[in-house]
């Protein structure tokens, strides 16, 4: 830029040559005056168009593109130096419309620097940006995308989001344009999520994860990660895509040398994919689980021994830690997690600060999920030493890990160590440490005395870092626990004897001694006068709110300690004349109460002992959650151990304000019910609830022959399921007992490959029917070729809704098909041989409704006007019912029997009678079964291909 514009080069040289700031300002003012003069040739007051603008903009029709570019470049340089610029905005808008790249580049640069997202000038450039987005020039596309991403106002996002999405999904877009379009959409979504129809675009965006260019895949994966966190169901298909890409990268080494970073295949993409998989619950598909296990095992094996190359180790460790996180998420009891625990033990003792940090953080994840904390407890001493690490971020992670790994067995040790470290801890850590110590002390209190001793030590040691929530909770528990009250009064009295006492301890002492000081008043050293002297000597250093609390303590003492009443009344008298309105009002009211006759019951009624607090959840966790900032990707776990991660739905309800009831006031542990970290913390601290994927079935594809093809395949083993101009889908099946296999043949009928090929199975009732792929589906089907997908099927219980096969692919545009698979309950029947006597005996034994289902329906005759007995026999036998000959005296009637096999519910018998009538063109179909639902479903399946409209 500087080499082609001598005026700009000279201007920059003059600025750099200025010895003092005054000379620099003088040179800039001179140049700005010249630029205004140049722009003033034809003055247009744009305030007539936009009254809200405050400055006047100048246009000069005599300036050519080069001059405009030069002057705007000088304005940009002036702005970068930090000087206010009030000219050149309209010229920048004009430069964007220039056909020359150099002028357009300066125009876009000026717009992104000089205009903020709410600037009214942006309305003038939207059409120019859209024109560049729609153009065929890739450079113009990129300049426009940069401007949208950098400015990113809501109006611009609403106007141009569709155009950016079109560039991303267009098959003609260059790879570098797709990358920029994906990142621009990500930027817009983060700033204005409501503008992006994320669910509507889901399948099309996810399909780009199969792009041949890994750079595009990395950018699109970043976009999918952001969108999937808020739209789990819509982006569920990305799970299979991520597993497939990981398998191709880690196992098959399918990547170009460009994307190998120190022999690690695209570590950035691996990390993103591994993190993306953690947003979803573990897949139940055994094929996907097997592939993931192989990928994770390979990653851990590759990282077993570090190399001397630091860059290789960094990349490998980044992938490894994310892989360990995924392994913990999938199954915390798997052998992979055992291997990971051994690796983490080595990492938390590493000399590398980053490795120690990641090791502690990942071990905290393990502690939050693991069934047993024993593998982590073996390294407890190392973790405690990490509290004194030279790096504060490592110390913070060690604190989080100790908080997560604490349980009943090691609580006293960990809390004691945290208390000792609190005295020398960084101020940035102290408030969080106080909250975590208070939570752990309360949660794992082995005795009332230990709880009170620890909390009072905490208040004494932490000083200003103790929030009100801490002493509120102490007061609540002491009030609700009668056995604790006398001991608490003694201990707090001893703490108040210290020369310097923090105000929070004075508040606790004021409340507890006011309520329960009479319980210890008869013991040596705890007389009413001594209690009064100890507490009152602290009041002069307290703020008004604390003094107000102490006045309430004194009025309670007036009621229970008449021997010190004169001293207390004297204090009320003094406080009646203070300037603070709250103190003055309390003192006047208390003075009036204290001055009433001794036999007056009003004072006794007013000063009755506080009743137990209603059960409530501790506010400590809410305070702790507020400390966490939304600074990282959302997680599927939170700090605080396994209990905090068990039931997210209950946690979410608590976050909304509905608290669980706790036990009676006599049980500290009972009062801790529901102390799991709330869902608000999950979002604030980077966690999300375990997702519940919607079971809503996809919308079925419609076609003229689809119902006929499906009905035929319910009683035949093979045939065409779907066909159009691009693909043909056929099936071939075999069944035995409650198990079956279905081969789905998908043929590409066009001369171009089908890319981003995805298949999914939707089962409405997974507890009744299991349908899984034998292997991962291919992502591409070559031109005029066929691929086969084998499905393993298991019937567990009775089901009525066939599974749905969803197929999506790119063939110029994105296509999606949703087709019912011919997997019906009759496929799991086995033949039964019965004689006439046995058949009719069982027929009568089963009886009529509700175990009988009967229907009369019209049928068609064959071309000769006779009953189509061959079709009747084909349909009944095709539904795997054994035809029993010579049982019914009418040769046109059919009698059949079968047994339904189910792995969970066992076997169910079924008997059938089909009685057609040629003259009436009607047929009566009767089913009897030991299960009424089986009889109804089998009747519907047999009737469907026989009735007239079939």
Q: Is 178 annotated as a binding residue?
A: no
Q: What Cα–Cα distance (Å) separates residue 577 from each residue in 341, 572, 591, 848?
A: 67, 9, 12, 94
Q: Is 921 annotated as a binding residue?
A: no
Q: Which residues pair with 809 in a beta bridge?
A: 815
Q: Is 7 annotated as a binding residue?
A: yes
Those residues whose C-beta lies under 8 Å from the C-beta of residue 459, and which sit 6 or more positions away, are 466, 470, 471, 474, 502, 504, 505, 508
Contact (Cβ atoms closer than 8 angstroms) between residue 327 and residue 370: no
DSSP string over 736-792: ETTEEEEEEEEEE-SSS-BEEEEEEEE-S-TTTEEEEESSPPPS-B-TT-EEEEEEE
DSSP string over 606-623: HTPPPPPPPP---SHHHH
Backbone phi and psi for residue 821, each to the nearest 5 degrees, phi listed first: -90, 140
Task: Please tell me the distance from the alpha carbon of residue 416 to that of residue 458, in angstroms, as a whole number.
Answer: 10
Task: Please tell me the distance from the alpha carbon of residue 170 to that of residue 162, in angstroms, as a whole number.
Answer: 12
Q: Is 70 annotated as a binding residue?
A: yes
Q: Is 279 annotated as a binding residue?
A: no
Q: Find how far residue 226's CA is from the centre of its chain.
A: 10
- Residue 414, number of CB atoms within 10 A of its CB: 22
Q: Is 71 annotated as a binding residue?
A: yes
Q: Is 26 annotated as a binding residue?
A: no
3 state DSSP class of 732: strand
Nearest CA to 454 among 488, 504, 500? 488
Task: Please tell me the distance from the alpha carbon of residue 127 to that of residue 107, in angstroms, as a whole number.
Answer: 14
Place of tokens 């904390």: 373
Contact (Cβ atoms closer than 8 angstroms) between residue 654 and residue 677: no
Task: Please tell me the distance from the alpha carbon of residue 542 to that of residue 558, in angstroms, as a whole number.
Answer: 22
Tokens standing for residue 791: 């499905």
DSSP secondary-structure letter at 463? G
Task: Please tell me the distance from the alpha carbon of residue 93 to that of residue 127, in angstroms, as a whole number.
Answer: 11
Contact (Cβ atoms closer than 8 angstroms) between residue 539 and residue 550: yes
Q: Find how far residue 195's CA is from the centre of its chain.
A: 20
Q: Please, what is the Cα angle at 458 between 505 and 687, to 5 degrees?
A: 120
Q: Which residues pair with 916 in a beta bridge?
A: 923
- Residue 545, number of CB atoms within 10 A of its CB: 13
Radius of gyration of the chain (CA): 39
The conformational region for residue 722 under phi > 0 = left, psi -120 to 50 = alpha, else beta, is beta
Tokens standing for residue 844: 């009568």
Nearest CA to 457 among 507, 419, 484, 510? 419
Q: Find how far residue 837's CA is from the centre of its chain.
A: 63
Place of tokens 């260019």: 213
Q: Please, what is the Cα angle at 262 between 259 and 267, to 5 degrees?
A: 55
Peptide bond into 228 cis (omega under 30): no
3 state DSSP class of 894: strand
Place of tokens 């959409």: 185
Task: Please tell me the distance from the alpha carbon of residue 643 to that of residue 665, in angstroms, as a whole number.
Answer: 22
Binding site per annotation, positions: 6-7, 38, 66, 70-74
């Amino acid at each position: 830029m500087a080499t082609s514009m001598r005026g700009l080069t000279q201007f920059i040289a003059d600025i750099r040559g200025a010895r003092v700031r005054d000379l620099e300002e003088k040179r800039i003012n001179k140049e700005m005056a010249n630029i205004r003069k140049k722009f003033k040739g034809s003055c247009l007051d744009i305030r007539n168009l936009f009254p809200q603008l405050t400055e006047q903009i100048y246009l000069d029709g005599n300036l050519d593109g080069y001059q405009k570019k030069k002057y705007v470049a000088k304005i940009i340089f002036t702005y970068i130096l930090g000087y206010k610029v009030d000219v050149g905005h309209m010229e920048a808008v004009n430069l964007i419309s220039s056909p020359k790249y150099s002028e357009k580049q300066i125009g876009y640069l000026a717009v992104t620097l000089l205009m903020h997202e709410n600037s009214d000038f942006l309305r003038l450039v939207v059409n120019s940006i859209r024109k560049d987005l729609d153009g065929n020039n890739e450079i113009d596309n990129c300049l426009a995308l940069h401007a949208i991403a950098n400015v990113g106002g809501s109006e611009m996002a609403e106007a141009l989001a569709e155009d950016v999405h079109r560039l991303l999904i267009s098959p003609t877009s260059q790879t570098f344009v797709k990358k920029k379009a994906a990142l621009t959409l990500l930027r817009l979504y983060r700033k204005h999520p409501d503008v992006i129809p994320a669910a509507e675009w889901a399948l099309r965006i996810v399909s780009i994860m199969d792009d041949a260019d890994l750079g595009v895949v990395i950018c699109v994966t970043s976009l999918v990660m952001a969108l999937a966190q808020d739209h789990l169901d819509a982006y569920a298909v990305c799970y299979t895509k991520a597993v497939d890409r990981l398998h191709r990268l880690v196992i098959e080494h399918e990547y170009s040398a460009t994307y190998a970073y120190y022999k690690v295949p695209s570590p950035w993409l691996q990390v993103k994919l591994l993190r993306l998989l953690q947003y979803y619950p573990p897949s139940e598909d055994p094929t996907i689980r097997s592939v993931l296990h192989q990928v994770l095992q390979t990653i851990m094996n590759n990282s077993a021994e570090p190399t001397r190359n630091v860059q290789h180790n960094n990349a490998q460790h980044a992938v490894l830690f994310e892989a360990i996180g995924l392994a913990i998420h999938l199954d915390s009891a798997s052998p992979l997690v055992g291997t990971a625990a051994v690796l983490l033990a080595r990492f938390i003792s590493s000399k590398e600060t980053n490795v120690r940090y990641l090791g502690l953080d990942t071990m905290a994840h393990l502690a939050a999920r693991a069934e047993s904390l024993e593998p982590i407890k073996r390294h407890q001493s190392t973790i405690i030493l990490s509290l004194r690490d030279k790096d504060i971020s490592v110390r913070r992670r060690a604190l989080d890990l100790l908080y997560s790994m604490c349980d009943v067995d090691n609580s006293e040790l960990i809390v004691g160590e945290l208390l000792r470290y609190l005295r020398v801890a960084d101020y940035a850590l102290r408030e969080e440490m106080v909250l975590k110590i208070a939570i752990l002390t309360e949660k794992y209190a082995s005795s009332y005395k230990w709880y009170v001793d620890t909390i009072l030590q905490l208040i004494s040691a932490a000083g200003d870092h103790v929030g009100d929530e801490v002493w509120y909770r102490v007061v609540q528990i002491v009030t609700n626990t009668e056995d604790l009250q006398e001991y608490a009064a003694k201990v707090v009295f001893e703490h108040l004897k210290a020369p310097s006492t923090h105000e929070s301890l004075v508040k606790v002492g004021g409340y507890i001694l006011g309520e329960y000081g009479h319980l210890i008043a008869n013991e040596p050293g705890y007389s009413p006068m001594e209690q009064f002297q100890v507490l009152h000597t602290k009041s002069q250093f307290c703020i008004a709110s604390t003094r107000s609390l102490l006045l309430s303590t004194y009025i309670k003492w007036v009621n229970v300690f008449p021997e010190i009443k004169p001293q207390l009344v004297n204090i009320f008298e003094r406080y009646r004349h203070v300037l603070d309105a709250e103190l003055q009002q309390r003192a006047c009211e208390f003075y009036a109460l204290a001055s009433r006759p001794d036999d007056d019951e009003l004072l006794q009624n007013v000063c009755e002992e506080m009743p137990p607090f209603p059960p409530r959840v501790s506010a400590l966790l809410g305070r702790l959650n507020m400390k966490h900032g939304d600074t990282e990707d959302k997680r599927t776990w939170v700090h605080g151990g396994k209990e905090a991660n068990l039931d997210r739905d209950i946690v979410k309800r608590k976050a909304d304000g509905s608290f669980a009831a706790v036990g009676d006031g006599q049980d500290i542990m009972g009062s801790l019910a529901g102390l799991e970290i709330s869902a608000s913390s999950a979002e604030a601290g980077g966690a999300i609830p375990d997702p519940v994927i919607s079971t809503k079935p996809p919308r079925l594809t419609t076609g003229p022959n689809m119902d006929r093809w499906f009905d035929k395949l319910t009683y035949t083993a093979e045939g065409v399921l779907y066909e159009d101009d691009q693909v043909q889908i056929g099936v071939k099946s075999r069944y035995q007992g409650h198990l079956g296999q279905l081969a789905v043949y998908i043929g590409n009928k066009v001369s171009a490959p089908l890319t981003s090929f995805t298949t999914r199975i939707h089962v409405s009732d997974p507890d009744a029917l299991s349908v899984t792929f034998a292997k991962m589906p291919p992502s591409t089907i070559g031109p005029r070729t066929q691929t086969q997908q084998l499905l393993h099927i298991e019937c567990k219980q009775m089901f009525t809704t066939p599974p749905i096969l969803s197929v999506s692919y790119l063939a110029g545009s994105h296509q999606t098909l949703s087709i019912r698979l011919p997997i019906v309950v009759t496929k799991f029947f086995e033949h039964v041989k019965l004689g006439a006597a046995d058949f009719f005996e069982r027929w009568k034994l089963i009886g009529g409704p509700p175990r009988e289902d009967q229907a009369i329906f019209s049928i068609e005759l064959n071309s000769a006007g006779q009953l189509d007995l061959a079709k009747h026999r084909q349909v009944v036998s095709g539904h795997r019912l054994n035809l029993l000959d010579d049982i019914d005296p009418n040769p046109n009637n059919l009698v059949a029997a079968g047994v339904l096999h189910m792995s969970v519910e066992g076997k169910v018998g079924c008997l059938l009678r089909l009685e057609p009538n040629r003259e009436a063109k009607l047929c009566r179909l009767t089913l009897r079964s030991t299960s009424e639902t089986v009889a109804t479903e089998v009747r519907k399946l047999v009737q469907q291909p026989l009735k007239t409209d079939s």
